[in-house]
Every structure is written in C-alpha cells, then in structure tokens.
Amino acid sequence: MIQAIRGLQWLSRLVGACELTLGLVIWFVGVSSVSLHILLGSVMALILLIVGAIALPVKETRSLGAIGILYAFILTGFGMVQMGLLIGPLHWLVQVLHLLIGVGSIAVVHLIGARYLKLKKVSRPAPLESADIPQSTPVAASDEA
C-alpha cells in the first residue's frame, strides 16, 4: 500500500500539472481541449477515490479518506456544471473557484498520502539494535593497549 500511495501521489502531480496547463490554455488561449481536460480530470477524481479508499479502513486516516472521496465528487460535480453557472461578467468567479478546487485536489491527495505514509513508517517495527548484530570484523585495538 505504501508503494501504491507513493505512485498515486506522483501521478496526481503529473495529472494535476497537465490539468492546470490545459485549463489555462482553455481559459486564456481559447483552444478547445475540453474533452481531454475532462478525461484527465476524471483520472484525478479516480486517484482521489483510490487514495481515500486506502485511507478509509485505517482509524487514524479515516476522516481524511472520507474527505478525499467527497472531494472526488465535488471536483467532478463542479467541473461538469461550472459552464452554466453565473453566466455573464461574473463568470470569472466560477472559473477561479474551479481552478482552486482543481489545484486543491492535488493538495488533498498529498495530505492523505503524507498522513498515511507517516503513520505506516511510525508503526513499522524498529530496526535491530547494533549490539544484536554479530560483528563480522574484529574491533580495532585501542591506542592504550
């Protein structure tokens, strides 16, 4: 699970950067890459769902896991309806909100992942004491001997 979380954190960074670039291109250049943007946005929502589902059974990360799952629905829900909201001179408010929710999704994946990884690292058994490990090389004689 630790490897899965690390991989998903890495993937969310990649997908998030592509999403941000595509979104800004849609916004300022007006090039229509909306279908690809929605597809990658769905991948981001899937990452949130998986990370949330991994965190959910662990008591200490349960609420964060639930937030991750809820966030996946907010991300896709708002992404799908935003075009019809506040049509007119105030539509930029909706666009900024969508941008913030989008960037927030990267942060949520990282927050859940960081908490989960910290917890799993702490709960791992401590490494053996050096005294327990047999010495393979003789200890060098001190100068006083």
Cβ-based neighbour number of residue 104 at 10 Å: 15
How many chain residues touch ligand HEM (CB under 6 A)? Answer: 25
Residue 20 interacts with ligand HEM (CB under 6 A): yes or no = yes
Complex with ligand HEM: residue 68 or 102, whichever CB lies closer: 102
Report the sign of the C-alpha dihedral through residues 116, 119, 124, 129, in that order. positive
Residue 41 interacts with ligand HEM (CB under 6 A): yes or no = yes
In residues, how long is the chain? Answer: 145
Residue 45 interacts with ligand HEM (CB under 6 A): yes or no = yes
CB neighbour list of residue 33: distance below 8 Å, 6 or more residues apart? 22, 25, 26
Residue 10 interacts with ligand HEM (CB under 6 A): yes or no = no
Residue 27 interacts with ligand HEM (CB under 6 A): yes or no = yes
